[in-house]
Structure 1
Amino acid sequence: MKILRTADFFGAPFVQQIDPKQSIYKSAFGGLVTLLICSASLAYAIWVLYKWQNNQLSPKISNSMYVSDFSLLDLNYDVIKLYYWKFGENQIDPFESKILLPLVMYTTNFSFTELQLIQMSNETSDDGTLYYLPKMSLAFQNISGVIYTSSEMYIQIAKCSQIYLKEDEKCASDELIEEFFSQPLNTIVLQVHQKSLNSLDGSVQNSVQEFFIQIEQQNCYTLNTFLQSNLYELQDSFLFGYPRYLEFINGALIQPQTNSVQYCKLAYENDILGLIYIVMKGNQIKTIFEYPHAGDLLANIGSIVSVLFMIKHIIIIINEYYLNQKILNQLIQFYYPEFKKVTIQKNWRQKTVKVVLNKYEVDVKEFQQFHKKVQDQMQNKLSYLNLLYEMSRIYFIIRSFKFRDELKKSHQVGIKINLSQSKMMADSNLNSNWTNRSSQFFSQLNDEDADLLSLSNKAKEVQLSVPDEICIEKDFYENNKIS
């Protein structure tokens, strides 16, 4: 049991009461400030929870370079879109007029597939031109711990050839071709559609990045496009849980080159005026969204509440001052009972201007000197060391007229519990005159002795005649001895 008591850290200390009504001094001003602080703390807590519920608390965001295996990469949408930029109604669209053809081929295990014609879609651009949507096909392979792109894309902007057309389709005439190349600003637009996450609520956002390819009859424009992905780690659990992972294309880096038509024809064995090489970039970006969880919310609320509760130190100092003044005044009244009849008037600067004692005005300066003197005296009595010192002096005074053996007998004395005594006898004992009591009854302790000198008896007006005879001390010890 002793070990268990030692291990208990829920122990409760004994708090001595200031008076019969309270053990801790509290004031109305302190209560008002407490209500204000608690109300402000509760309001702030509700406000923080409201912002958290409505995704208005920004998460902690960290970015780092990352080598991805692209297993989570989302390619289930049209990442690449191609169209001819028409800025005038009379401009000739080379794709619709079969002057140029958008072709695509892929590498599979580092070998090329056959060229395929990219079909026109039903989607239109901002200027009303129809999109050409190549099928996105990228594959990856781990070789000796290194991720390689085993399937790449090549989009060719080639001169029209009948082998890529249907039987009922024909390439444009030489006159139309010459008219097309005489147009200014012949531009083909490559759109890279990308996705990202909104940091506030983790929702998916769409955006687009455009690259321009100029078409000239004597040049071959090459656009090496390195797609870049972003791996998102979402830590959005309220208390416990695993993070979520999402990976999207979030942009592209390009390496443009302008080559001769002869160079591209030798390199790709086709009459092409533009080439778009598409591959995944080696290093990706990893972004961690750490949303506030329960611990962060409590820490956020607790930090502000701690600042608000710093005001309590000021209130504690004020309460300590008024508690000290209250006890000093009561101690003064113990020694100077007339002090409770003193009325002090102060002005707005808390300066004493009038003092009244027993309905008579007294000199203010003289009272202040007296008050300061007795306050200093009573202040010393509040010292615990002074209390022990005065108790030791009382012992020496008692010891001056009592022998040690007599004092030792006090350890055997106590109030006996006598429940067999009838109520009538008890009442007669309380109301009878002390001179009529027997010596034994007079010297015997009863329940009145338990608080005879306590502060609670100070307010009672009891008038009893004390006999001249002093009871024999031997009878006192014998009558109250506890066996």
Structure 2
Amino acid sequence: MSLLVKHIKKIDFFGAPLVQQIDQEQSIYKSILGGVITLLICSASLLYTIWVIYLWYTNQFSPKISSSVYVSNFELLDINYDLIKICYYKYEENLIDPFEAKVLLPLIMYTENYTFTETKVLNLTNEITYYGNRYIIPQMRLGFTEINGVLITTSEMYIQIVKCTPELLGEGEQCASEEISNQFFSQAQNIIIMQIKNKQLNSKDGSMQSSVQEFFVQVEKPNCYTLNTFLQSSFYEVKDSILFGSPKYYEYVNGALIQPQTNTVEYCQQAYGDETYASLYIVMKGNQIKTILEYPNAGDLLANIGSIVSVLFMVRHIIVFFNSYFLNEKIINEMISYYYPQFSLIKTHKNWKQEIVNVTLQKQTLDLNEYKRFYEDIRSKIEQKLTYVNMLYEMSRIYILIRSSKSIDEIKKCHSLGVKLGHLRQTTLGIDPFSKCGLSSKELEDQILNDEDIGILSLHERKKQFKINNIVDEEPELIDFYDLNRIKL
């Protein structure tokens, strides 16, 4: 089991590396320039994200649209609305409306397998036209049959405009007089309007829109005008889910093709059995256009946002480069100041080319060329010291120096040495001042490790000593060394 756990740990690519602190205040070097650029990039990214979401929410993103020829079985076709409206073109108020005056009657006939099955008179509705008269709205009924793999319209619809006869009227109704009938046919223009209300989806937001096509049929005594109307339809597949989900399907009539034909009244009477002046044959085309509307989903939004944000964050590499450069300069200068404490007081002045033109130390001007030679020389030495190989080398030299004055057995004893936590005990054990070969209490106390030994050579202790500006010298033999190299800032 432990072997399995070990192998599982090896394949973990989420492992977090240990980032050692360069100093106590920072684990990663950060600069004002990096902070300003980060603020600008994050602000721009956030604003762009809000803008993209706003465009998506307000349906301002264009969908992906693809179209193809499609053969439908018309199961989803919506025709249960006022798809077709018929009215007389009453462009003047004094004109006789043949439907209201009972000069002409609209008949609707349905067929089944090309045989008439039902005929009835259409009544005027209460819906008013633009011209002030009333509409005739037939009830649509279409049927389809698949024969040898081909979908064929076998249930059709005819609307006949016929001469009014008493047999077609209901009880209490009567046809127009011969005088009114003659007056109607003597009018300058007698036109029947057929309106087809089309529906289509708005590709912008997927909402349903309507439009109207108008077709005109003339009415005159000697002729029978026929409009063979082939309704066109569109099939829509809408993919508008946020992330996952099934598409939605819609099917609407979106137009019509008209095949006009002129016959004699005698021909239409022989065909339909009534004195007919106009015939509207309505059928559905079998093929249609299938349109797929694919609206942006959450994945598309994230891809859109991520692409621009990634471009913005390309600037990050430039800022990282500058931060790496400034970090390197900062560490080198601090290392130089460890050996030359006065180096931190040197002020350099640069021109627009970033070339040093003047150097001062405590308001005294230094020789520029001499400073450049010094700085280049000491910089190269410090850069060498900052390598891990050099650090390990210097540690090995320190060990050799210690080994030159200490025996191996004495060095081995250091592994068991450390600062005791005796001051945390409730009872304190006394120290026998005579237990160490007659050492005095002061000498014994100096040999015992305490809390000060932890940071006696730390940077914090160095800064504190500079503030006190006093180094206590206890060993007389080192006084000359301290006096010769002490620097007061």
> Per the shorter chain, which TM-score range?
0.7 to 0.9
Distance 2:429 2:25 in 1: 31
Cα distance change on mapping 1:285 and 1:406 into 2, 3 Å: farther
The more displaced of 391-400 and 75-84 is: 391-400
> Helix, strand or coil: the match of 1:12?
coil
Residue 58 (structure 1) shift: 3.9
**Aligned residue for 1:477?**
none
Query: Equivalent residues in 2 for 1:322-333 (5 A)?
Result: 322-333=326-337
Distance 1:425 1:318 in 2: 58
For 1:459, the aligned partner's letter is K
TM-score by length of 2: 0.80
Distance 1:284 1:117 in 2: 32
Specify which of 356, 359, 368 is matched with residue 360 of structure 2.
Answer: 356
**Aligned residue for 1:388?**
389
Is 1:463 the equivalent of 2:467?
no
Residue 361 (structure 1) shift: 0.9
Distance 2:205 2:74 in 1: 24
> Helix, strand or coil: the match of 1:91?
coil
Cα distance change on mapping 1:411 and 1:162 into 2, 3 Å: farther
Distance 2:461 2:235 in 1: 81
The one-character-per-residue Cα deviations of 1:116-142 (angstroms, maximum 9, x if unpaired) are: 211111112111121111121112334
The more displaced of 309-318 and 394-403 is: 394-403
> Helix, strand or coil: the match of 2:19?
coil
**Aligned residue for 1:180?**
184
Query: Equivalent residues in 2 for 1:59-78 (5 A)?
Result: 59-78=63-82
Residue 313 (structure 1) shift: 2.3
The more displaced of 50-59 and 210-219 is: 50-59
Distance 1:361 1:20 in 2: 34
**Aligned residue for 1:478?**
none
Specify which of 313, 316, 319 is matched with residue 312 of structure 1.
Answer: 316
Residue 262 (structure 1) shift: 4.2
The more displaced of 106-115 and 185-194 is: 106-115
For 1:79, the aligned partner's letter is L
For 1:363, the aligned partner's letter is D
Is 1:121 the equivalent of 2:125?
yes
Distance 2:256 2:413 in 1: 99
Residue 257 (structure 1) shift: 2.3
Residue 299 (structure 1) shift: 2.7
**Aligned residue for 1:338?**
342
**Aligned residue for 1:272?**
276
Distance 1:178 1:40 in 2: 79
Query: Equivalent residues in 2 for 1:129-144 (5 A)?
Result: 129-144=133-148
Residue 107 (structure 1) shift: 0.8
Cα distance change on mapping 1:448 and 1:397 into 2, 3 Å: closer
For 1:27, the aligned partner's letter is S
**Aligned residue for 1:297?**
301
Distance 1:14 1:41 in 2: 30
For 1:313, the aligned partner's letter is H
Cα distance change on mapping 1:390 and 1:318 into 2, 3 Å: closer
> Helix, strand or coil: the match of 2:86?
strand
The more displaced of 311-320 and 407-416 is: 407-416
Residue 223 (structure 1) shift: 1.3
For 1:301, the aligned partner's letter is I
Is 1:108 the equivalent of 2:112?
yes
For 2:254, the aligned partner's letter is N
TM-score by length of 1: 0.81
Residue 279 (structure 1) shift: 1.1
The one-character-per-residue Cα deviations of 1:26-72 (angstroms, maximum 9, x if unpaired) are: 11232233223223333333333344444444433333332222222
**Aligned residue for 1:418?**
420
Is 1:192 the equivalent of 2:196?
yes
**Aligned residue for 2:33?**
29
Cα distance change on mapping 1:357 and 1:82 into 2, 3 Å: same
Residue 271 (structure 1) shift: 2.8
**Aligned residue for 2:99?**
95
Distance 2:166 2:25 in 1: 107
Distance 1:147 1:58 in 2: 34
**Aligned residue for 2:468?**
none
Residue 247 (structure 1) shift: 2.4
Distance 1:6 1:153 in 2: 76
Residue 298 (structure 1) shift: 2.7
The more displaced of 206-215 and 41-50 is: 41-50
Residue 425 (structure 1) shift: 6.4
Cα distance change on mapping 1:358 and 1:135 into 2, 3 Å: closer
Is the 2:111–2:118 Cα contact (8 Å) retained in structure 1?
no
The more displaced of 406-415 and 124-133 is: 406-415
Cα distance change on mapping 1:95 and 1:395 into 2, 3 Å: same
Residue 367 (structure 1) shift: 2.4
Distance 2:453 2:202 in 1: 80
For 1:416, the aligned partner's letter is G
Is the 2:420–2:449 Cα contact (8 Å) retained in structure 1?
no
Residue 95 (structure 1) shift: 2.4
For 1:418, the aligned partner's letter is K
Residue 174 (structure 1) shift: 4.8
Alignment gaps of 5+ in structure 2: 433-438, 466-470, 479-489
For 2:215, the aligned partner's letter is F
Distance 1:220 1:459 in 2: 113
The more displaced of 237-246 and 6-15 is: 237-246
Alignment gaps of 5+ in structure 1: 427-432, 470-483
> Helix, strand or coil: the match of 2:184?
helix
The more displaced of 326-335 and 12-21 is: 326-335
**Aligned residue for 2:230?**
226
Cα distance change on mapping 1:331 and 1:420 into 2, 3 Å: closer
**Aligned residue for 1:157?**
161
The one-character-per-residue Cα deviations of 1:419-452 (angstroms, maximum 9, x if unpaired) are: 44869869xxxxxx99x847x986x877666655
Cα distance change on mapping 1:260 and 1:452 into 2, 3 Å: same
Cα distance change on mapping 1:366 and 1:123 into 2, 3 Å: same
Q: How many residue pairs get matched?
A: 457
> Helix, strand or coil: the match of 2:342?
helix
